[in-house]
């Protein structure tokens, strides 16, 4: 039996002023693309709400991306909230001891 690889398509789109929605898979193949897109889209926003409801799968790369967004938001004096973080990411965050650090709401 061959192991099937997760799909590697993802998009990050602006869904209103300061609201962004991720759709697809967050993994080591897709996170660099999302990161680059976010650098352009997040500029000039005072507050960010990132909706993960369209994420179909995430591994630790998705959590690393979220943590990097948190670091950048602090550096840029932006408020940041995450909405509907996938269960996979929350479990990884719990195991790593950072679940309570994620700005959810």
Q: What is the pLDDT along the chain (105 residues), one digit of tens a residue?
A: 444 444 569 999 998 889 999 999 999 999 999 999 999 999 999 999 999 999 999 999 999 999 999 999 999 999 999 999 999 999 999 999 999 999 997
What are the strands, taking DSSP E only, across 7-99?
A: 10-14, 19-26, 47-58, 79-83
* pTM for this predicted structure: 0.89
The residues that bridge with 64 in the sheet, in sequence order, are none
Report all structural domains of the chain as residue ranges with CATH numbers, in order of start: 10-101 (3.30.750.24)
Residues 6+ apart with CB under 8 A from 19: 49, 51
DSSP state of 104: B
């Amino acid at each position: 039996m061959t192991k099937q690889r997760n799909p590697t398509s993802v998009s990050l789109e602006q869904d209103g002023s300061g609201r962004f929605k991720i759709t697809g898979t967050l993994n080591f193949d897709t996170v660099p693309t999302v990161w680059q897109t976010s650098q352009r889209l997040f500029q000039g926003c005072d507050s960010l709400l990132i909706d993960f409801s369209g994420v179909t799968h995430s591994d630790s790369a998705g959590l690393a991306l979220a943590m990097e967004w948190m670091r950048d938001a602090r550096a840029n004096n932006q408020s940041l909230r995450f909405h509907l973080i996938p269960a996979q990411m929350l479990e990884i965050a719990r195991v790593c001891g950072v679940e309570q650090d994620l700005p959810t709401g």
